[in-house]
Amino acid sequence: MRAETFYVEGRFHAKISSDFPVPLLRGLALNNDARRDHEGQLVGDPTELALYEAAVSVGYDGRDMAKAIPREDEIPFDSERKLMTTLHLEDGQLVAYTKGAPESLLPLCATLWTSDGPQPLQTDKILAVAAQMAVEGLRVLALAYRPFVDRPQTLTADAVETDLCFLGLTGLIDPPRPEAKEAVALCKTAGITPVMITGDHPATAWAIARRLGIVEEGGKVLTGIELARMSLEDFEQQVGEVRIYARVAPEQKIQIVQALQAKGEFVAMTGDGVNDAPALRTANIGVAMGKTGTDVAREASHMVLLDDNFATIVKAVREGRRIFDNIRKFIKYVLTGNSAEIWTIFLAPFLGLPIPLLPIHILWINLITDGLPGLALAVEPAEPGIMQRPPRHPQESIFALGMWQHILWMGLLMAGVSLFSQGWAYFTGSAHWQSMVFTVLSLSQMGHVLAIRSERESLFSQGLFSNKLLLAAILLTLDLQMAVLYVPTLQSVFKTEALSLNELLFCLALSSVTFFAVEIEKWLRRRGWIYRN
C-alpha cells in the first residue's frame, strides 16, 4: 500500500489508488493540519498537503469529513517520538489516528488491519517494504488507528499511542528542482561543501543526496542514533567527512553546526521549523524559508529565502562575491588616487620643484576624477570564474592578496609620471607646467580605473563595453577635464592654461603608463608569479 507522489509548482501532489483501505484514506484526511485559507487555497506543510490531496483525489475531503467526524483533541508531532496523533468522535466513539516514521510507529502496533478483520502484525516484513520505498527516494510514513471503548483518563502519548492497528504505508517523493543539481555542483566548484541534515529515513536521504550530487557512491550516512552513541572527540574527527545526516534530533543539528565551526568552517544552515531555530541561530548564517518557514525560524535566522529555493542561495553567494570584489576595486581605485596626490605634493619639494597642485585641483580630482568612475565600479559585472575560486577566510583583510602593495607602488608610479611631466615642463621653461601635472594625474586615474576592472583578466579580453556605465563616466570625466583646460571661464576658476596639441599628447602618453603597468601586473598574476591566492 503506497501513494506515489509527484511535484508540481513547488508543492507536493499525490496519486493514490482507490482500492486503498477506507480507514487509511480516512486517516490521511483526518490526521492532517492542512487547511484552506479565505481564498480557498490549501495551506500547510508540503507533506500534509500531499496527504490531504491524495485523500481528496479519491473522494475523502478532509474539510467535509471534519464536519462529520470532528477532531476532539490531538497529540502534536514531536521530534523525539516522530509521531502525530489526532482523536476524533466517530459515530459516538472516540478514534485515534496516528501517523509517523515506520520504525517509531510499528512497535506501538499490535495488529494489522485487513478487510477480514485484524490480523497478526509482521513488523519485519513491513519495515523491509518501507526500507525499499526509502531506497527509491520516497519519504515513507506509516498510519495506524485505535478505537476506544472507554475514553482514556489522560490523553497522553503513553495512554493513546499503544495497542494500535496498523493501516498501511504511504510514500511521498519531493523531486529536486531542475536547477538544484546544478546549484550543488556550483557549490562544490566554489569550495562550498553541501551537507544534508534531515529527519527522513537514511535510505531516503542517501537516494536524494545521490540524485543531487551531494554524495558519491559509497558515501556515508550518519543517523541520529549513531551520532548519540559517539563521543564528541570521535564526532569532531568525522564531521568533515560526513555529507548526510538522517533521523537527527533538533539538538543534534546544533551539535553538527558547532562541530563544523570547531574545525574552522564557516557554516550556513537552512531550516523552516520551530525545531530548526536553535541551529539557525548557532550557525554563522541562518537561512530560513520564507514560504514554508515558521515565524520562529524566520526570527532566529539571519536571512530569509523568499522562494524556498536552494539555487537562490548559490545565486546570493555569487552576487556577494561580485559585490565584495567591487568594493575592493573601489577602495583600490580611491586609495591609489589619493596616495598619488599625496606623493606628488610631498615629493615635489625634494626634487627642487614648486608645489604642483592647488587646493582647487585636489578638490576637482577627489570630486570628479575619483567620484564618477568610482561609483560606476559598483555595477561592474562578475569576473569570469568567480564561482571557481575558493572561499576567502572570514578573518582575511580586505587589503589581502596584494591590494595594499598595489596601492603603494601604483600611487608612487602615478606620482612619478606626474612629477616627470612637471619637471620636464618646468625646467624647459613652459608656463603650463601646473596644468600639465594636473592633467597627467587626472588622466592617469582614468587609465587606472580601466585596468583594475578585473584583478586577473586583461581589459582587452573583457572589452570596453562590458561596463557601459563606467565607460560613460570616464568619457564624461575626460570632457570635464578638457573643459577645465580650454573653457576660458573655467580657466579663471581653476587657474589652468590651455595646453598645446603636443603638450596634450605628451600628457596622454605619460598617463597611459599606469594602464599598461597594471596590465603587466595582471599578466604576472595570471601566471602565478605574484600575489598567489
Does residue 485 belong to any structural domain of this protein?
A: yes
Quote the CA–CA distance of 94 and 182 in Å, as a whole number: 50
Query: What is residue 8's predicted lDDT score, i.e. its pLDDT?
Result: 28
Quote the CA–CA distance of 66 and 297 in Å, as a whole number: 30
User: Which of residues 277, 311, 345 is at a domain's end?
Assistant: 311
- Tell me, yes or no, whether 345 and 240 share the same domain: no
Does residue 533 belong to any structural domain of this protein?
A: no
Quote the CA–CA distance of 450 and 438 in Å, as a whole number: 19
Q: What's 46's domain CATH number?
A: 3.40.1110.10
- Tell me, yes or no, whether 516 and 430 share the same domain: yes
- Tell me, yes or no, whether 329 and 477 share the same domain: yes
Please choose, from the candidates 201, 197, 299, the residue with its C-alpha nearest in 3D space to the C-alpha of residue 257: 197
- Tell me, yes or no, whether 420 and 322 share the same domain: yes
- Tell me, yes or no, whether 462 and 435 share the same domain: yes
- Tell me, yes or no, whether 390 and 405 share the same domain: yes
Tell me the β-bridge partners of 472.
none
Query: What is residue 132's predicted lDDT score, i.e. its pLDDT?
Result: 87
Does residue 57 belong to any structural domain of this protein?
A: yes
Does residue 226 belong to any structural domain of this protein?
A: yes
- Tell me, yes or no, whether 78 and 163 share the same domain: yes
393-430: per-residue pLDDT in tens? 888 999 999 999 999 999 999 999 999 999 999 999 99
- What cell numbers appear for 156 in the block? 497522553
Task: Find the helix packing angle between 202-212 and 123-135, rounded to 10°.
Answer: 10
- Tell me, yes or no, whether 158 and 104 share the same domain: yes
- Tell me, yes or no, whether 224 and 252 share the same domain: yes
Please choose, from the candidates 107, 110, 108, 105, the residue with its C-alpha nearest in 3D space to the C-alpha of residue 121: 110
Does residue 532 belong to any structural domain of this protein?
A: no
User: Which of residues 172, 197, 226 is at a domain's end?
Assistant: 172
Does residue 487 belong to any structural domain of this protein?
A: yes
pLDDT by residue for the chain (533 residues), tens digit each?
333 433 222 333 344 444 456 788 888 889 999 888 888 788 888 888 888 888 888 788 888 888 889 999 999 998 888 999 999 998 889 999 999 999 999 999 999 988 788 889 989 989 988 888 888 888 889 999 999 988 888 889 999 999 999 998 888 887 777 888 999 999 999 999 999 998 888 998 998 999 999 998 878 899 999 999 999 899 999 999 999 999 998 899 999 999 999 998 999 999 988 889 999 999 999 999 988 788 999 999 999 999 988 999 999 999 999 999 999 999 999 999 999 999 999 999 999 999 999 999 999 999 999 999 999 999 999 999 999 998 988 889 999 999 999 999 999 999 999 999 999 999 999 999 999 999 999 999 999 999 999 999 999 999 999 999 999 999 999 999 999 999 999 999 999 999 999 999 999 999 999 999 999 999 999 998 988 75
Query: What is residue 297's predicted lDDT score, i.e. its pLDDT?
Result: 92
Please choose, from the candidates 422, 440, 282, the residue with its C-alpha nearest in 3D space to the C-alpha of residue 354: 422
Query: What is residue 20's predicted lDDT score, i.e. its pLDDT?
Result: 56
- Tell me, yes or no, whether 506 and 459 share the same domain: yes
Structural domain count of the chain: 3
Q: Is 390 exposed, middle or buried (0-12, 13-18, 19+ CB in 10 A)?
A: exposed
Residue with cell string 576595486: 329
Q: Is 248 exposed, middle or buried (0-12, 13-18, 19+ CB in 10 A)?
A: buried
Q: What's 430's domain CATH number?
A: 1.20.1110.10
- Tell me, yes or no, whether 83 and 33 share the same domain: yes
Quote the CA–CA distance of 3 and 69 in Å, as a whole number: 24
First to last CA, the chain: 57
User: Which of residues 311, 337, 361 is at a domain's end?
Assistant: 311
Quote the CA–CA distance of 436 and 498 in Å, as a whole number: 10
Does residue 255 belong to any structural domain of this protein?
A: yes
Does residue 531 belong to any structural domain of this protein?
A: no
Tell me the β-bridge partners of 142.
100, 169
Rounded to the nearest integer, the mean pLDDT of the chain is: 90
- Tell me, yes or no, whether 298 and 440 share the same domain: no
Domain range for residue 396? 313-526
Q: What's 200's domain CATH number?
A: 3.40.50.1000
